[in-house]
Structure 1
């Protein structure tokens, strides 16, 4: 008679070993994925574990292998479709590699990000993927990296951290769309971002702590200078951190005597609010106002008119960061990688010649 325990009890490694007819140490090597056993023994132990509906004790396994089987991920805003899609790329790779993802939202707040890192370290994650809230404040990330914990940066790099980094070619993308707007006769071009400053005004690109946005603004301003447009810093608007803030900023712009003829939205959440507000003012896109948004969110293709966007390799950013981290976890050494993924402009119908 089969003396195996019923399925509603906790099945142990010893139970699996007994059923497979091997030692507990041998069963532990198979179930823990370490050490060397023959293919025949592995098959017998695996079949016994399946028959007993064995579930590994993750705490015990981590004590044995030194691995928790988890990857910690910290991003700025999980409600933003950009981060949602990037995290999907991370989780797909992690799952295939046998890791579980623990996700924490920082709300683009450095203090919250530091607390998140402390929490993840306490949970003994095997590695970290972080989209830093402020590239100028990364000492907590440096300490984690110094401890030997593999770390990859997502979408936002750091000149002072020598770790794997995956970003998009944001500056090049901003230069391209700005040149196009200038070529169409636009001179009053506004750039709108959620990044903020202490006085809620933009002064120089150094004010922007988020590297991806800073590179876009640098590209935007560089092309404006090439075109002979003066004082374009005044056309960079910061602080669009919520829909209410964005609405107030856009309303003020559209009520101004110097109303912009084109707006570049730094993300699709901002772009959607711009689209909503322009209708309330009885304006028409693109006849009165051209609109370009970073990130090809679903809504941008179904509006009337559909919105021209900078399509970022968002899934690829997460996927690549996770692949780099998994490679480190599998023992791949070498210098830190800095990978730049290309963007593309998706032309739709929200951009036209500047109004007379």
Structure 2
């Protein structure tokens, strides 16, 4: 799927169905002149239901669906016949979708489990027919309940990709290259900043046919939490990652400073991000000789508060060790 087809933010109006009216019919047939009330109940209005679909990974199919309307309940009729229920409408979304009330920005619920279904707009209840209201003092009630009106909402669907490992780094740090080497994903790779404009997911194959999911998001720049660059828009995609893999190129002027800037952007966006497991990968290490690498290790041992590893995606160096570190952290 191309970058242009990745849609992770959709606004729409949803309307359930009206409940059907109860009938106020009085029974009449040959030889029965006054048969009494026999009006049936109205049918329930249709629900609008958000349903998890594990085969989806984007909201593209909802991009141009601005109005979702469920069916109305049918009215009751004679002979205590109840009206049919209105048609329920299912809105399929990928796992990791957050549903918000657009007007209040309040989170209504999140879809995170396969097969999960949540009603976002409840259909109106059908009205009771007049036979419910007969009594010893009122044997021919000529009234019935109207159906309960529909429910209408403006909602926002917001996708946060579900991945085990999230790649965090500045633009052009080699995140897409690493994803393409470790997985079968084919992200766009080029020698300029912000080559990646949309999140990419890939499945990393580990020993004994075990796998885990890795996500590459557009590069973060200083000030991303305030809306600079593309980082703020996509920072939510790493909120659900179990491990954050910080990718910092070996030719960076100050590796510790870059790590601190990235960490500070995550903290300002959402302080809970700091509770996640963190690993630093020093990329493009094929540019270093052994002597320079040894010097950097001495510095990093004193400066970095988290585990780190030297890797090169192009030269295939340190990738097996990296997968071991990630797998160990995921299963700790």
**TM-score, scaled relative to structure 1:** 0.31
Structure with more of its chain in strand, by fraction:
2
Larger Rg: 2
Structure with more of its chain in helix, by fraction:
1
Greater RCO (Cα-Cα under 8 Å, separation 6 or more):
1
**TM-score, scaled relative to structure 2:** 0.32
